[in-house]
Amino acid sequence: MAKKKIVKKKVVKKAPAKAASKKTTKKVAKKTTKKTPTAKRVKSHARAERDAQTSDKLTGLAQNIVDSVFAGKEPEMDVPVRAASNTNWNEKKRILEMGDSVGNRQLFNLGQARKFMQTLLHSTSVSDLIEQDKTSSLRGMFYKSLHTIEGTKEKTFDDQTESDGILEDLEVSLGSLREELHIFAKKRGTMVGNITVIDSGDEINCRKMGSGGYAIPSICEPDVIQFKDVKADFILHVEKDTVWQRFNEDRFWEQHNCILTEGSGQPTRGVRRMLHRLHTEHKLPVYCLLDCDPWGHYIYSVIKQGSISLAFESQRLAIPDAKFLGIRAIDYDRCELSDDVKISLNERDITRAKQIAAYPWFEKDKQWQKEIKKMLTNGFKMEVESLITKDISYVTEEYVPARLKAKDWLG
């Protein structure tokens, strides 16, 4: 009888003890989850000040519209014209600049109402980003403001191109850079060489980046990117990743004490901003190794003088002293290349070449006139990769070192 009582007591005691244990665990877990803090970026003084200024501009834009409504006037806004007709060549500064022409965008004008609405939608999204201290991609901004207007089948944006154009309008209207609007583009471009970069607080030694290199970010402003241990003598910028890989694998940057960058074709703002900052802040010469065709010439023109679409940013992007290292129209003969490297110029190439030759900064340059004329006379274009027909490392071991030593470039 005694044994039975003991067993019964043990069973009764264990059961509630387990239940209590489970309840306690649940409560503790729930409590802990609630108290987990959300990580926040610490703003620098400069960044906080910049955000406050941008917010004030956005508020001013909205206030002007509200004031017009209460005054019984049609809401409208002025947007600087981003076109060749409103782009001026500043010969003294040697850069392209935006002119003074302004377009008026009105709410009750059927031809302008859509863009008026889109501008305000993106203004609201930018304001939200600044308030939350977060950033968004161009693609993200498109989706953030994309919806079907109630009661219709009309969408606020047809595609991302339309959205990107409105964001550029907003930039020039506010006099703020895209980075100040907390918007970034897709990363495109790579860097390696004798430099250490501080990226959002993380120290990155670009001498130890393996075969991949450091991906140049879209936002390269001083409050995000800082430079440390800049030991390089110059920057070699190449057009494509395929060429960059050859230079990196051959350790060209190590042997010639430089920084090696590539822009995957037409360089993004991030790449151009990185080059501009390194050039102006550390006095590093910039040499461009690009294709011998109108598109390679245009890429050089954009790096050197700026572009029509981004003329309002030339002051912080253009590098007037950048040099064109090659490949040159005369290289077919002087490098004794084979007929296999020739790519015939088509009508589009010829038309584009003539347009580039007429650019004010090329028009009076005898070297460039001679270069473009020689290419047109040849009747063919060439890619940097064509030098591989000589030897796999001809471009890194012979061509570029010889051009640099002889100071054989176009300015």
The residue assigned the tokens 């960059």 is 244
Instruction: Give the pLDDT mean for 10-22.
Output: 44
Strands 258-262 and 234-238: parallel
Least confident of 8-17, 107-116, 220-229, 314-323: 8-17
pLDDT at 169: 93
Please list, in sequence order, all residues whose beta carbon lies within 8 angstroms of the beta carbon of residue 374, skipping any fewer than 6 positions away: 329, 330
Please list, in sequence order, all residues whose beta carbon lies within 8 angstroms of the beta carbon of residue 318, skipping any fewer than 6 positions away: 94, 95, 96, 276, 303, 304, 305, 306
**Residue percentage of the chain with pLDDT more than 90:** 79
- Cα–Cα dist 221/212, whole Å: 23
* In the predicted structure, residue 17 carries a pLDDT above the cut 70: no
**pLDDT tens digits along 355-377:** 999 999 999 999 999 999 999 99
* In the predicted structure, residue 43 carries a pLDDT above the cut 80: no
Q: Rg of the Cα trace of the chain?
A: 29
Q: Are 284 and 290 in contact (CB under 8 A)?
A: no
* In the predicted structure, residue 25 carries a pLDDT above the cut 50: no
pLDDT at 214: 97
Instruction: Give the pLDDT mean for 294-320.
Output: 94
- Cα–Cα dist 318/310, whole Å: 10
Is residue 308 very low, low, confident or very high in pLDDT (cuts 50, 70, 90)? confident
pLDDT at 310: 86
Is residue 144 very low, low, confident or very high in pLDDT (cuts 50, 70, 90)? very high
**Which residue, 237, 223, 323, is CA-closest to 275?**
237
pLDDT at 7: 42
* In the predicted structure, residue 16 carries a pLDDT above the cut 90: no
pLDDT at 12: 43
What angle, rounded to 10 degrees, do the helices at 45-70 and 113-132 form? 140
The most confident of 12-21, 46-55, 171-180, 259-268, by mean pLDDT: 259-268
**pLDDT tens digits along 51-99:** 999 999 999 999 999 999 999 999 999 999 988 899 999 999 999 999 9
- Cα–Cα dist 179/171, whole Å: 10
Active site residues: 143
- Cα–Cα dist 314/218, whole Å: 16
Go through the domains of the chain in sequence order and give each one's CATH number: 45-74+107-184 (1.10.10.10), 191-405 (3.40.1360.10)
Is residue 42 very low, low, confident or very high in pLDDT (cuts 50, 70, 90)? low
- Cα–Cα dist 289/326, whole Å: 5
- Cα–Cα dist 226/206, whole Å: 13
Burial of residue 215 (CB within 10 Å: 0-12, 13-18, 19+) is middle
When the pLDDT of each residue in the chain is averaged and rounded to a whole number, the result is 89
Residue 168 three-state SS: helix
* In the predicted structure, residue 132 carries a pLDDT above the cut 90: yes
